[in-house]
Structure 1
Amino acid sequence: MVTDKPEDASPKGEHARLDDHSVPIFEGGKSRRHVRQSVSRFRAISVWSAFRYRAALKDLRTFVQFAGWPRSGHSLVGALIDAHPHAAIAHELDTMGLFRKGIPADRLPALCLANAAAFTAAGRHWNGFCYAVPGASHGPAKTLHVVGDKKGDWATRWSAEDPALVSRLACQSRLDCRWILVTRHPLDNISTMSLRRDRAYDKLRISGEQDMGTAIQSAQQDGRIAAEVNDAMIADYCALAASVAAMKTQMPSEKWFEITYETFTERPHESLERLAAFLSLDPDSAWRDRAAALVKSDRNKSRHKLSWRDDQRERVAEVIAGHDFLSAYMDRA
């Protein structure tokens, strides 16, 4: 049963350590894993990267960070921003974690660009998806106005652990710090979190199965992938929502951008133009059209792949009603 006990979204266990950091390993089409490296290594990389990419970073104006939940569309939205001629978005870097661990704010852009460049060099694959926009200017060979990181769930977790983190970033950075919140219907978001728990789902996708629907059903029948919504994922979703609400109070409204994943997939051209305006990026029509072509309509609702109890649905309805940034889903259960 889902309990009413307040949950805490703060990092737990080894993920809470402040002397090392989880970093993605890009391995082409099989990319999906992380390793932990020392924070001192990141300090050295930040100095080297700042020197290596000094020309690309010299006209930088904005540092953008995502907030929210895992499995809500950050990877796609971040990749499409990265395809802009004057933007670079890191993949799976968790810059707010690095900032919490003592990396100076003004070193973060160079780390983001180094990560984005490595992701591009490896083909921009992650968990069985390719995040390359054909014909777009991914990579560091461009003058940047915007740089950032898409790891929104971990930015939110670190903010839960250190509530002053968002304000401290804005105070210590020489750049205009902005935030993007991508929401997805909580029923679908939580279902996907449950499906992809323990990574069996990701392994299946990377394996290249032709009929993913049949493969998922088979994996659910033999217990490799969840067939029921996990209560822990509901609790985690609710805890992250509470942390998002707290983060939102720490900045002026013009620094905060909200968009639903459903709106983004239904109207990608319009959504990309809104994002460009928020980030003060040139609404380059070639970028917009190429990026929009990569977007697929979100018709396959993951909520239907798992069974839900009535009390679980009631808990989700409560969290929707409790937060203004989820109001789009009030009548869409």
Structure 2
Amino acid sequence: MKKAQLSGEKGRKLGGYIYDIPNQWQGRVKNLQVIGDKHGEGTTLRIQANSRYISRLRNIINVNIKFIHIVRNPYDNITTMAKKNPEFNRDLNKSINYYFSLCDTIAQFKTTINSDDIFECKHELFINDPKNQLKNLCDFLGVEASDDYLNDCAKVVYKSPHKARYDVDWNSELIDLVKNRIEQFSFLHGYSYED
């Protein structure tokens, strides 16, 4: 709650995006029902480092944990990582290997949890239909979603995803490498460089 309040004081800005939803409850609460974080990479790295991380969390909070897995076009994620991570220094090969190591962790993790405890959604699908996708997510979490809430949230969603892959030169060899790796993960099926 303190982190949410601090974020509110700073205008809910992160990475060029504004996360403020006018008329909604961020940083304030009547009855706390959901705790979350947008940094899936950090959670994946924690699981990668220690597979008992989730069992420890379950023991600490003593409630059923549900997982939200938002998937985006791998070419965009890989490009963004290559551009923003100083260790990669815009090297797509390093970023590709790192990205798919995260995918390996997620795929392995998914075998250890009940499929009813994970909500998976493609980023692009959410952008195309934010109100219905958010309603589905709220239903999954067991949280009531009023029309006002859904409408207010849908208003701040970008109209189209940023296709970061076009910010960097991809050669055909790297495009094919990622295409082949995509096929190894069911949650990435359907993505291509051309999308």
Cα deviation for residue 331 of structure 1 reads 8.8
| Alpha-carbon distance in 2 for matches of 1:324, 1:174 | 31
**Alignment correspondent of 2:148:** 286
Match of 2:47 among 150, 156, 159: 159
> Structure 1 residues 300 and 115, CA, compared in 2 at 3 Å: closer, same or farther?
closer
**Alignment correspondent of 2:26:** 138
| Alpha-carbon distance in 1 for matches of 2:170, 2:191 | 17
Greater radius of gyration (CA): 1
For residues 203-226 of structure 1, the C-alpha deviation after alignment (integer angstroms, 9 at most, x for no partner) is xxxxxxxxxxxxxxxxxxxxxxx9
Question: TM-score, with normalisation over the residues of structure 1?
Answer: 0.55
**Alignment correspondent of 1:274:** 136
Task: Describe the SS at the equivalent of 2:11.
Answer: coil
Cα deviation for residue 302 of structure 1 reads 1.4
5+ unaligned residues in a row in structure 2: which ranges? none
**Alignment correspondent of 1:213:** none
| Alpha-carbon distance in 2 for matches of 1:162, 1:227 | 27
Instruction: Check if 1:183 corresponds to 2:45.
Output: no
1:1-333 equivalences under 5 Å are 113-198=1-86, 230-329=92-191
For residues 80-120 of structure 1, the C-alpha deviation after alignment (integer angstroms, 9 at most, x for no partner) is xxxxxxxxxxxxxxxxxxxxxxxxxxxxxxxxx21111111
Letter in 1 for 2:15: N
Task: Describe the SS at the equivalent of 1:148.
Answer: coil
Letter in 2 for 1:163: S
| Alpha-carbon distance in 2 for matches of 1:300, 1:148 | 24
| Alpha-carbon distance in 1 for matches of 2:60, 2:162 | 42
Cα deviation for residue 183 of structure 1 reads 0.6
Cα deviation for residue 307 of structure 1 reads 0.4
Letter in 2 for 1:184: R
Cα deviation for residue 228 of structure 1 reads 6.0
The alignment yields a C-alpha RMSD, in angstroms, of 2.2
Cα deviation for residue 143 of structure 1 reads 1.5
Q: 1:229 touches 1:307 (CA, 8 Å); kept in 2? A: no
Cα deviation for residue 326 of structure 1 reads 0.7
Letter in 2 for 1:314: D
Aligned-residue identity in percent: 27
Q: Which ranges of 4 or more aligned residues in structure 1 deviate by more than 4 Å?
A: 226-229, 330-333
Task: Describe the SS at the equivalent of 1:147.
Answer: coil
Task: Describe the SS at the equivalent of 2:65.
Answer: strand
Question: TM-score, with normalisation over the residues of structure 2?
Answer: 0.90
Task: Describe the SS at the equivalent of 1:259.
Answer: strand
| Alpha-carbon distance in 1 for matches of 2:90, 2:170 | 6
Q: 2:82 touches 2:92 (CA, 8 Å); kept in 1? A: yes
Letter in 1 for 2:10: A
Q: 2:8 touches 2:26 (CA, 8 Å); kept in 1? A: yes
* Count of residue correspondences: 195
5+ unaligned residues in a row in structure 1: which ranges? 1-112, 199-225
Cα deviation for residue 141 of structure 1 reads 3.6
